[in-house]
Chains A and B, each alone.
Chain A
Amino acid sequence: MSEATTTPEATDERVKEMSAFRKALIRPELGGIVGTIAVFTFFLLFAFDSGMFNSQGVLNWSIVSAQFMIIAVGACLLMIAGEFDLSVGSMIGFAGMMIAIMGVTLGWPIWIAIILTFALCLSIGALNGFIVIRTGLPSFIVTLAFLFILRGFTIYLPQTIENKTIIGGIRDAAEGDWLAPLFGGKVGGGFFQWLGDNDLIATFERGNRAGEAVIDGIPMLIIWAIVLVVFGHVLLTKTRFGNWIYASGGDAESARNSGVPVNRVKILMFMFTAFCATVFATCQVMEFGSAGADRGLLKEFEAIIAVVIGGALLTGGYGSVIGAALGALIFGVVQQGLFFAGVESSLFRVFLGVILLGAVILNTYIRRMITGER
């Protein structure tokens, strides 16, 4: 037969050498990297003196970015696995409310409230996934239903039980608890005090905290964000399960034919998204000391936007956790930066819409480049 048609060492003349630029362009993180540089350049130029880049300012937008990151990691892995979860925002409100009801109204120890809430929310995530798999309906519709169901309960329960929509007193209830500091605590207080003592960061000049550093530690929220981003990135790119996530989202039927347990992957990703939402909710509840029925509104969309800015395709099978984290960083910096720069905050939404559109258009071009279609 025609064995002599190709010699092993000869390179195929039809395969064009890819320029380094083009190679960089098809990395999913590209949009996120470019966006991050652009955003930082912009605010360094126009809001440098506003206090945005002193220690308190940095901590301020870091916390906001970390919040976005936590839910973006879950949304990112789920989107790469080919599904959506629109119930993330409602799940945040619901989880917070469950902790408050169990920990304050019922008076159970906070650690029990937290563990039970996690168990409950993970089950709801699994239920979401199960319904999507079993019925074959788009996850968009199924989780939209849960967006309303969970939000409804989040409003109904505190109103029925306590006649109000905000339950407070969580900080008192969490006093001395062993699990609560994992979500509401701060780390590195001594380090920041040392920085303050050595005039590396500002200290309070008067009041009863005079002499203390203005930052008393890094909130656990930020630690969670970093841990989740690293975990998500390693899981996706360095494990066989990560390959299954890509495969499930790229083409579920092909993946099944190759022996990938697609259903298990998808349900686990729904559960992971629920886990991220619950982490967000628990940190928020511990920080505010209260749970409100309107918490987490629109968070599902913000998570999805961060993921898309980070280069993931809405159709699944392609994306990056690092990209999603950068998308979340862009979000946090812009939201807080506009505040520091004294710009009307409603413009943030205009920015969101514009950047979302830009990111989606860019992603479409990138996908064409990867698959070589025209």
Chain B
Amino acid sequence: MNTRTTHAPIIRMKNIEKHFGSVIALAGVSVDIYPGECHCLLGDNGAGKSTFIKTMSGVHKPTKGEIQFEGTPMNFDDPRDAMDAGIATVHQHLAMIPLMSVSRNFFMGNEPTKKIFGISFFDSKKADQITMDEMRKMGINLRGPDQAVGTLSGGERQTVAISRAVHFGAKVLILDEPTSALGVRQTSNVLATIDKVRKQDIAVVFITHNVRHAMAVGDRFTVLNRGQTLGTAQRGQITPEELQDLMAGGQELATLEGSLGGTV
């Protein structure tokens, strides 16, 4: 799929620990993220996935451990710094406003301006043009740039959010459970989008607890369980069943699976 894993990692997280008071959310997690790969971060609810990506995107400071970004130790004070450096997060909560048009959403907070008589105005023509182009690249045909985001499906909204992050120069794209609330067709659209982004040499960190979604696009898989990593596996080195077992911590699911007839 890609050959970039021989290159230097863009983010290197070494023995990251994060404590919230007496709760140990992360107990020494190490992960390397390479450009152009889709790195799947798997784990059940409460495994520490969210804490981990929040540490990566500058929301939390690790209690212990070191984070290197492009080879140098990074010390982000807040998510804005991380965003400026090129680490973009697309949250489950999408940062999209349903009543506003796609192009106004696309450029929210980063509006292009043009000067007329020394006063700067919102350059809506440029915004509309770029939005239409970017959406077309991702395979979404809008009725027009003024179409409200509220009329888009969940998958299309994800795609808008992703292409927005890419357009504004993301080098690392963190997707927090982008497929968890989507139907089959929409999920495949989002997975296709992830594939397109990866081909632009952007590192994608794809958080999910659905093994099949992970297997569909992932190059490497890291499983988190109770704040610890159980190692990173290459594509082809691991079966979906093994991943599933790792996520659930083996035992309980195995017994459950028997009674459910292997449908989980």
Question: Which residues of chain A have a CB within 8 Å of any CB of chain B?
Answer: 1-3, 5-6, 8, 10-12, 15, 17-18, 238-240, 242-244, 246-247, 250-251, 253-255, 257-260, 313, 317-318, 367, 370-373
Known A-B contacts A12-B141, A243-B108, A370-B99; the reply to A2 vs B150 at CB < 8 A is no
Does B73 make an interface contact (CB < 8 A)? no
Known A-B contacts A10-B141, A15-B143, A246-B104; the reply to A317 vs B151 at CB < 8 A is no
B 45-104 contacts with A by CB, 8 A = 80, 83, 91, 93-100, 104
For A255, the chain B residues whose CB sits under 8 A away are 95, 97, 108-109
Q: Return the contact of A15 from the options B110, B141, B189, B196 (Cβ within 8 A).
A: B141
Q: Return the contact of B188 from the options A2, A253, A371, A372 (Cβ within 8 A).
A: A2
The size of the chain B interface, using a CB distance under 8 A, is 38
Q: What are 21 residue pairs bridging A and B, where the CB atoms are less than 8 Å apart in the complex?
A: A3-B196, A5-B189, A6-B140, A8-B137, A8-B139, A11-B141, A12-B141, A15-B141, A239-B113, A243-B104, A243-B107, A250-B97, A250-B99, A255-B95, A259-B80, A317-B97, A318-B99, A367-B99, A371-B98, A371-B150, A372-B151
Q: Return the contact of A370 from the options B110, B120, B150 (Cβ within 8 A).
A: B150
For B217, the chain A residues whose CB sits under 8 A away are 1
CB-nearest residue of chain A relative to B189?
A5
Against A, the Cβ 8 Å flags (1 = close, 0 = not) of B114-131 are 000000111010000000
A258 to B121, CA, bound (A): 20
Apart from A260-B108, A371-B150, what 7 extra A-B contacts exist at CB < 8 Å?
A1-B191, A2-B192, A8-B137, A246-B99, A251-B96, A371-B98, A372-B148
Interface-central residue, A10, A253, A372, by most chain B CB under 10 Å = A372
B139 touches A6 (CB 8 A): yes
B109 touches A259 (CB 8 A): yes
A3 touches B111 (CB 8 A): no
Known A-B contacts A243-B104, A371-B151, A372-B151; the reply to A254 vs B139 at CB < 8 A is no
A1 to B188, CA, bound (A): 9
Q: Return the contact of B148 from the options A239, A244, A370 (Cβ within 8 A).
A: A370
B192 touches A5 (CB 8 A): yes
A254 touches B122 (CB 8 A): no
Does B195 make an interface contact (CB < 8 A)? yes
A373 touches B95 (CB 8 A): no
A243 touches B111 (CB 8 A): yes
CB-nearest residue of chain A relative to B139?
A6
A24 to B139, CA, bound (A): 28
A367 to B121, CA, bound (A): 27
For A15, the chain B residues whose CB sits under 8 A away are 141, 143
Does B4 make an interface contact (CB < 8 A)? no
For B107, the chain A residues whose CB sits under 8 A away are 243
Does B235 make an interface contact (CB < 8 A)? no
A232 to B139, CA, bound (A): 37
CB-nearest residue of chain A relative to B193?
A1
B150 touches A240 (CB 8 A): no
CB-nearest residue of chain A relative to B127?
A243
A257 touches B141 (CB 8 A): no
A271 to B157, CA, bound (A): 34
A260 touches B109 (CB 8 A): yes
B191 touches A254 (CB 8 A): no
CB-nearest residue of chain A relative to B112?
A240
B141 touches A6 (CB 8 A): yes
Does B167 make an interface contact (CB < 8 A)? no
Does B136 make an interface contact (CB < 8 A)? yes
CB-nearest residue of chain A relative to B80?
A259
**Which 10 A-B pairs rank lowest in CB-CB distance, beginning with the nearest?**
A371-B150, A250-B97, A259-B109, A240-B111, A258-B109, A1-B195, A6-B139, A372-B151, A257-B95, A254-B95
For A257, the chain B residues whose CB sits under 8 A away are 91, 93, 95
For B110, the chain A residues whose CB sits under 8 A away are 258-259
For B96, the chain A residues whose CB sits under 8 A away are 251, 254
Distance of A247 from chain B, by nearest CB (Å): 5
